[in-house]
């Protein structure tokens, strides 16, 4: 495995889940594997879980992790091919990525979308430039359109709480928010949930349809109450409109998940990738109650990253 940027196959997905759960029991099992290897963690955007869990995963494997907050510590990056750099950008992505490729064994990169340039975002342009020019294995720490380490952690969590159910009913429900939020988590969650063979229903107000590249195979249901019925797992997430790109079409607070919404799904566990805006996306009673798996998901971020780094080390 050279790149970890998206869902590849159910077999590989299951292998990574199993390896992650092994590491969860024995974090230092492969302490010797990464000796003398280095991962560069490059952030173009803020991070808490992703940064720390990746550093810990690397340390658990005996690797050295170096974090670079490129947005704050480094130079403003130019992304366009052929640009005449006589404005604000100081270094071209080609040059920076090439150098980083010569410094590290693996690069892990976070590059959010602009939400203003649809074409660039849906082609995952910025992240792709790093992949293209670094010449070494690359792990996505969330790109414009995917957040695969989050989704792997989510699938680990689903497996842990499925009580042996082979095909749990999973519902991805849109939640209100005050800001225009990227699609990466929702896209990847759909991609992985479908890829792992689960039953996925996506519910959201009309107009919030996600990119079909990620959702083909899921049931789309505009009626949230119907969608939630008999759910085993409810994944709560806001995203901005995809068709009317980056727009906020609704802030309807009735979509915020509360206990009342789950009266027809007594077994439902509630998931969110964090950070979560309490009492806007999800109520306190949900997050602090027994249904919540959000802290479990966050903890599994370590072992998801560890499994991926381990697999790339080979």
Residue 212 CB: number of other CB atoms within 10 A? 12
Residue ranges of the binding site for N(2)-succinyl-L-ornithine: 142, 177, 237, 277
CA 70 to chain centre: 20
CB nearer to a copy of itself: pick between 161 and 222: 161
The Cα 155–Cα 20 span in angstroms is 11
CB nearer to a copy of itself: pick between 232 and 281: 281
Cβ 127 to a copy of itself shortest distance, Å: 18
The Cα 15–Cα 6 span in angstroms is 15
Cβ 267 to a copy of itself shortest distance, Å: 23
CB nearer to a copy of itself: pick between 75 and 226: 75
Residue ranges of the binding site for carbamoyl phosphate: 47-50, 75, 110, 147-150, 273-274, 301
CB nearer to a copy of itself: pick between 124 and 281: 281
Cβ 307 to a copy of itself shortest distance, Å: 17
Cβ 72 to a copy of itself shortest distance, Å: 6
CB nearer to a copy of itself: pick between 78 and 124: 78
Cβ 189 to a copy of itself shortest distance, Å: 19
CB nearer to a copy of itself: pick between 52 and 249: 52
Check if the beta carbon of residue 204 is closer than 8 Å to that of residue 237: no
**Binding positions for a copy of itself, rule: CB under 8 A:** 28, 36, 38, 40, 43, 46-49, 51-53, 55-56, 59, 64, 66, 68-70, 72-75, 78, 82-87, 89-92, 94-96, 98-100, 102-103, 178, 274-280, 284, 287-288, 294-295, 298-299, 302
**Closest by CA position to 8, among listed 112, 136, 200, 155:** 155
Cβ 22 to a copy of itself shortest distance, Å: 17
Residue 83 CB: number of other CB atoms within 10 A? 12
């Amino acid at each position: 495995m050279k790149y970890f940027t998206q869902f590849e196959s159910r077999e590989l997905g299951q292998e990574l889940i199993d390896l992650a759960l092994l590491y969860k029991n024995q974090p230092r099992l492969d302490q010797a594997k990464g000796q003398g290897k280095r991962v560069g963690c490059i952030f173009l955007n803020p991070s808490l879980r992703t940064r720390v869990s990746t550093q810990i995963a690397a340390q658990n494997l005996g690797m050295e992790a170096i974090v670079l907050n490129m947005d704050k510590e480094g130079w403003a990056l130019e992304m366009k091919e052929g640009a005449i750099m006589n404005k604000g950008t100081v270094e071209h992505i080609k040059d920076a990525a090439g150098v980083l490729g010569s410094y590290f064994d693996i690069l892990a990169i976070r590059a959010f979308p602009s939400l203003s340039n649809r074409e660039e975002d849906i082609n995952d342009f910025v992240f792709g430039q790093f992949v293209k020019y670094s010449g070494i294995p690359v792990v996505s720490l969330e790109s414009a359109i995917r957040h695969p380490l989050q989704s792997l952690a989510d699938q680990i969590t689903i497996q842990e709480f499925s009580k042996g159910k082979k095909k749990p009913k999973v519902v991805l429900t849109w939640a209100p928010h005050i800001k225009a939020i990227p699609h990466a988590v929702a896209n990847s969650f759909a991609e992985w949930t479908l890829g792992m063979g689960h039953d996925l229903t996506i519910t959201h107000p009309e107009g919030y349809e996600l990119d079909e590249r990620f959702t083909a195979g899921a049931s789309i249901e505009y009626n949230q109450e119907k969608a939630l019925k008999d759910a085993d797992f409810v994944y709560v997430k806001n995203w901005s409109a995809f068709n009317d790109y980056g727009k906020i079409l609704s802030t309807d607070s009735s979509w915020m998940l509360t206990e009342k919404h789950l009266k027809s799904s007594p077994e439902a566990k509630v998931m969110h990738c964090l950070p979560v805006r309490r009492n806007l996306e999800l109520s306190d009673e949900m997050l602090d109650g027994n249904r919540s798996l959000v802290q479990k998901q966050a903890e599994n971020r370590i072992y998801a990253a560890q499994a991926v780094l381990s697999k790339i080390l080979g």
